[in-house]
Structures are given as structure tokens and as C-alpha cells.
Structure 1
Amino acid sequence: MIAETVCSAASAAGLGIAVVTAYRKRFLAAARIAAYSLVPVGLVMTGVVGWLADTAFSPTAWAGFGVLGAAWALFAATRAVERRRGSTRADRRAAARGKRRDAVAPTASAPSLGSAARPAAGRPAPSRGTGSGEDFSDIEAILKKHGI
């Protein structure tokens, strides 16, 4: 009696999590969570503990097999959709690792290598006026140091 209650509660909690996951627009994950959460109820309904008693003629047992079949069908369907999309967890992890290795701005350090001394083509050379230019000389030095 306690085992059935615990399995039913675990299944109800799993189905609740699946609903929340589906609400967040992650339908494949929600279907997989629903499949996992149906397994305990299916095992309870099949009467695994009392398998030899009278499983073969019990309508509850056959309903449990149906629930297990539905869980298996959900697993198979989610795997088929993943294969069709071509994205698996390993692919997403590899893509995430590749993105982390790329520089945010690979040419951002180019001016600090010496091209800051000469103006870029198409840009006019900065005018060095007298008067207020001396006030900003320390700021210009900092900007040049950082390649800006």
C-alpha cells in the first residue's frame, strides 16, 4: 500500500514538472519527463511485486502495460525528433564550447599592435588643435594605450 502511494506521488510530481517544462516551451524535455514519471505508475499497475499472483488476467496489469507502452512511445518519439533535427546534447555542448573559445572582437587588439599611430583609410586624421587639446592629452594617452 505504501509503495503504491509513493509511486503515485512520484508520478504526480513528475507530471507536474513536465507541465511546467512544457509551459516553458521545452516540449521534448517535457515529453521525456512525462515518460519517466509514468514508469512508476506503470510498474505499480503491472503488479511487479505480486507478479506471480494473477498478473495475466488482471485488467489493471494490462492497463499498466499500456502505460509502459505509452512511456516507451514517448521516449522513441523524442529520440526520433532529436535525430531529425540533428541536435543532441553532445552537439549543443560542443557548440557551446566552440562559442566560448572565440574572441568577442578578434580585431579589437589590432590597434594596440601599432596601427593606432597611423589613421585608417577613410578616416580623417584627428585634428590636434591648440588650447583644449592639452587638457585631454592624458585621456588620449589612455585611449591609445587601450587601442581605442
Structure 2
Amino acid sequence: MLIGTACTLLTAAGLGIAVLVARRRRYAAALRLAAISLLPVGLAMTGVVRFVVNMTFNPVAWAGFGVLGLAVVLFLSGRLAEGRGRGRDAAPASAGAAAPAGLPKDRRASGRKAVGGATGGGAAGAGDDFSDIEAILKKHGI
């Protein structure tokens, strides 16, 4: 009885605020507020509120939540351990992967060297890139 009354008062207050918001011509916000305001009465009518209140003061229910939490932690730690183990095995396989198709054939063969040179990883690779650019600029007379 007390739960139903409290939920009804909450809903009435929320609908009153929604009317005030609607008077300011903010109709979308008023509709959202009205929808949220109707939730307490709807939950009270379906019996969900009584169920939650009874469950809140039940120690067996809290022990059940603890067991569920432990299960989630164990599941996630198992997934994390599986991901770390798979990462070590997958790293050597991906190291020998082919270079991107956009590179010329002579650079595709060297794979890692071409990528390192493009990012400034080595002095020889950076010099090769600049010599190519210089040749292009000389070709166009710049």
C-alpha cells in the first residue's frame, strides 16, 4: 500500500514537471519526461517494486548476487587469459605477413624494411625515399 502511494506521488510530480516543460514549448523533452514519470506506477502495478523491496532485505538474495558476480569475474578472467595466450602464438604468424598491396613489387619483397623506411626507422631507408622525391622533382624541373 505504501509502495503504491509513493510511486503514484512520484508519477504525479513527474507529470506535473512535464506539463511545465511542455508550456515552454519543449515538447520532445516533455514527452521523454512524461514517459520516465510513468515508470514508477507501471512498475508498482506489475509487482516489480514489491519483488525488489522483498529481495533487498533477503540475505540469500545478496549471496546469490555475490555468486553471480564471482561467476562474471571468473568468466572475464578466463577470456582475458585466453586472449593473452592466443596473442603470443599469433604474433610470430603475423610478423611474416605480406606487405600492403599498394607498395611496388621490389618493396613488397622486403616488407618490414619498406615500412620502417617510410616511417623514418633507418637512415638508409629515409635516404632512399628522399632520392626518389628528388628524382621526381628534377624530372619536372623544380
- Please state which band the TM-score falls in when normalised by the shorter chain: 0.3 to 0.5
* Structure 1 length-normalised TM: 0.33
Q: Which has the higher helix share?
A: 2
* Structure 2 length-normalised TM: 0.34
Higher relative contact order (CA 8 A, sep 6+): 1
